[in-house]
């Protein structure tokens, strides 16, 4: 056999071996990220549930259509329905030691198991399987770089929200949508990597309260208009001082009208705090309310007062 023929045969054998070795990988593809459609809910610990419900019912005008109860009949979680796909969970207990009153934030996804698999492929610690929560929806939880608990929810046709679609939506609601959720972030670069690079959230604005150090970073969910607000810090506040940062923002079309409605309600006399409208650094009119534990609920118009966009800050993040 000629030397050239031997060389050709050896080359073919090598190529054949390469194909055989690579064949197990040919059918494998990276798990795609499912859709992240928007904010599902936020959970907060409350020290006095009746007072918290009076704040959400009497002042803000929402209904509490359902709750989860402990074996002794006491309420474990009360659900405040904002609309057919967003709610607030009030945990009837003191927060864990060292924690503020924010329990967790949650996002609606198109496929919970796909999200779990996707996050695992990105090196995010996840559980072995997706569970079905007591509300009837599929869900699982992870922690972000700052230790904030993040839940992903896939609504089910037999879930609590689906069963009550179109119900418990009183005309007294001060807002019909959660605009954004704010939570504390000390590691902005790692949080941007988690929410941006991994989850696909899109940063659209950042602001500074004093112009020298960055205060906020806003990131919109991957497949919707809801967003989260990083409340940046260089020194973490004491647990009982975090309520101003860990907040829910509700969108209103006319802030002045909303304030007038709240001030006319009997529950406002019990609330007994002034409702002071102001224009934020982002140029949008807003007012802050606080529940009995000092957790902030912000009412905000979805447009700037001037009608012009406010450019993002170039200030550096806190160390």
Q: Kindly report, residue by residue over 224-245, the tens digit of the pLDDT.
A: 999 999 999 999 999 999 999 9
Cβ-count burial of 274 within 10 angstroms (0-12 exposed, 13-18 middle, 19+ buried)?
exposed
In this prediction, residue 277 carries a pLDDT of 98
Whole-model pTM over 0.85: yes
CATH superfamily of this structure's domain 36-304: 2,3-Dihydroxybiphenyl 1,2-Dioxygenase, domain 1 (3.10.180.10)
User: Residues of the chain whose pLDDT is less than 50?
Assistant: 3-13, 15-28
* 68 close to 75: Cβ distance less than 8 angstroms: yes
Q: Are 101 and 293 in contact (CB under 8 A)?
A: yes
pLDDT at 22: 41
**Torsion angle of C-alpha atoms 294, 75, 106, 282, degrees rounded to 10:** -20
Q: Is 304 exposed, middle or buried (0-12, 13-18, 19+ CB in 10 A)?
A: middle
Using the structure block, give the residue that is written with the tokens 């080359």: 11
Q: Find out whether 252 and 36 touch, Cβ atoms under 8 Å.
A: no
Measure the CA–CA gap between 59 and 263, rounded to whole angstroms. Answer: 9
Terminal C-alpha separation, the chain: 72
What is the C-alpha separation between 211 and 50, in angstroms, rounded? 41
Distance CA 184, CA 83 (A): 26
- How much is the pLDDT for 58? 96
Question: How high is the pLDDT of residue 54?
Answer: 96
**pLDDT of the residue at 9:** 43
Burial class (CB in 10 A: 0-12, 13-18, 19+), 100: buried
Q: Coil, helix or strand for 52?
A: helix
pLDDT value for 16: 43
């Amino acid at each position: 056999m000629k030397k050239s023929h031997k060389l050709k045969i050896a080359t073919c054998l090598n190529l054949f071996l390469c194909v055989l070795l690579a064949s197990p990988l040919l059918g494998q593809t990276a798990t795609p990220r499912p859709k992240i459609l928007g904010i599902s809910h936020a959970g907060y610990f409350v020290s006095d549930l009746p007072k918290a419900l009076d704040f959400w019912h009497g002042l803000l005008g929402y209904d509490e259509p359902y709750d989860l109860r402990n074996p002794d009949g006491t309420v474990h979680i009360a659900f405040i329905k904002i609309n057919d796909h967003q709610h607030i969970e009030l945990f009837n207990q003191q927060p864990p030691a060292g924690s503020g009153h924010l329990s967790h934030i949650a996002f609606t996804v198109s496929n919970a198991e796909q999200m779990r698999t996707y996050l695992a492929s990105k090196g995010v610690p996840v559980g072995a399987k997706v569970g079905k929560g007591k509300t009837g929806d599929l869900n699982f939880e992870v922690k972000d770089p700052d230790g904030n608990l993040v839940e992903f929810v896939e609504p089910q046709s037999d879930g609590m929200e689906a069963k009550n679609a179109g119900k418990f939506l009183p005309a007294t609601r001060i807002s019909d949508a959660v605009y954004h959720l704010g939570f504390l972030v000390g590691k902005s670069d790692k949080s941007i990597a988690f929410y941006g690079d991994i989850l696909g959230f899109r940063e659209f604005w950042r602001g500074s309260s004093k112009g020298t150090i960055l205060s906020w970073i806003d990131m919109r969910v991957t497949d919707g208009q809801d967003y989260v607000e990083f409340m940046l810090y260089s020194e973490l506040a004491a647990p009982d001082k975090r309520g101003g940062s860990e907040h829910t923002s509700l969108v209103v079309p006319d802030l002045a009208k909303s304030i007038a409605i709240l001030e006319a309600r009997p529950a406002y006399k019990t609330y007994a705090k002034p409702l002071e409208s102001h224009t934020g650094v982002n140029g949008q009119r807003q007012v802050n309310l606080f529940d009995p534990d000092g957790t902030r609920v912000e009412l905000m118009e979805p447009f700037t007062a001037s009608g012009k966009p406010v450019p993002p800050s170039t200030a550096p993040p806190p160390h």
